[in-house]
Chains A and B, each alone.
Chain A
Amino acid sequence: GENVEQHPSTLSVQEGDSAVIKCTYSDSASNYFPWYKQELGKRPQLIIDIRSNVGEKKDQRIAVTLNKTAKHFSLHITETQPEDSAVYFCAAYSSASKIIFGSGTRLSIRP
């Protein structure tokens, strides 16, 4: 079935440095890839997304890249701040409009 793998599971970076989270997906029909930020006990919040006809998208300090051939996509956060600390999930929309989530990355920003 459809699968999304995410790495690393935990990531600690110094405030101001960059953070990169990587994902791979299995369903070649997937055409939409959202990234979510989830704080403890709350719903996932969409932070950025990318469609399969685009290779890169940027929104202020956040960027996402997609390599459709390799079925890889990545989240890049630059100039990290304490409020960036959270769990981040990548996801891929399957052909049935189901969201398949990655396993999550717990990002900690060290002051």
Chain B
Amino acid sequence: GAVVSQHPSWVICKSGTSVKIECRSLDFQATTMFWYRQFPKQSLMLMATSNEGSKATYEQGVEKDKFLINHASLTLSTLTVTSAHPEDSSFYICSARRRENEQFFGPGTRLTVL
């Protein structure tokens, strides 16, 4: 199967700082990537759809100014959590779409905000 990587795999930061998470499709081009957030013992919740060369589409209730998404190339999407607070601590997972009904997940990034 296709490979999607995420970096970093985990990060600890102080409250008020910003954190950038990268999602890369290593062996295919992805015009669309998705960002999910997963709290402990909960399901994956779609945050936004990242489209190469255009603005991301955010799900209802997700603050676009807090979760900045940039999809600058066909293999890279970034999620920046701005002014992070402890309640932003979560497991963030991206997925990359290769073709219709075919998405591949990254390994996830565990964010802990102190």
Chain A residues at the B interface, C-beta cutoff of 8 Å: 1, 31-32, 41-44, 51, 89, 93, 96-104, 106
Asked if B107 and A93 make an inter-chain contact with CB atoms under 8 angstroms apart, the answer reads no
Q: Please encode chain B, from 37 to 54, with 1 for each CB lying within 8 Å of some chain A CB and 0 for all others.
A: 000011111100100000
A44-B44, A44-B93, A98-B49 known; 6 other A-B pairs, CB under 8 Å? A31-B101, A32-B101, A43-B107, A97-B100, A99-B34, A103-B42
Majority DSSP secondary structure for residues of A touching B: loop
Chain B residues lying within 8 Å of A101, measured Cβ to Cβ, are 43-46
How far apart sit A100 and B44, CA to CA, in the bound complex (Å)? 9
- Name which of B43, B105, B107 has the most chain A CB atoms within 10 A of its CB: B43
Point out the residues of chain A lying under 8 angstroms from B91, CB to CB.
41
Whether the Cβ atoms of B93 and A43 lie closer than 8 Å is yes
Q: What are 30 A-B residue pairs whose CB atoms fall within 8 Å in the complex?
A: A1-B60, A31-B101, A32-B101, A41-B91, A41-B108, A41-B110, A42-B107, A42-B108, A43-B93, A43-B105, A43-B108, A44-B44, A44-B93, A51-B101, A89-B44, A97-B100, A97-B101, A98-B34, A98-B46, A98-B49, A99-B44, A99-B46, A99-B103, A100-B46, A101-B44, A102-B43, A103-B42, A103-B43, A104-B43, A106-B41
Residues on B close to A: CB < 8 A?
32, 34, 41-46, 49, 60, 91, 93, 95, 97, 100-101, 103, 105-108, 110
A98 CA to B101 CA, complexed, in Å: 9
Q: How far is the CA of A102 from the CA of B45 in the complex (A)?
A: 10
A-chain residues with CB within 8 Å of residue B101 when the two chains form the complex: 31-32, 51, 93, 97
- Chain A, residue nearest B99 (CB): A97
Q: Which residues of B contact A89 (CB under 8 A)?
A: 43-44
Closest A-chain residue to B46, C-beta based? A98
Q: State the CA gap A93–B34 with chains docked (Å).
A: 13
* A31 → chain B closest CB, angstroms: 8
A104→B42 contact, CB < 8 A: yes
Nearest 9 A/B pairs, CB to CB: A43-B105, A32-B101, A101-B43, A101-B44, A103-B43, A104-B43, A43-B107, A43-B108, A44-B105
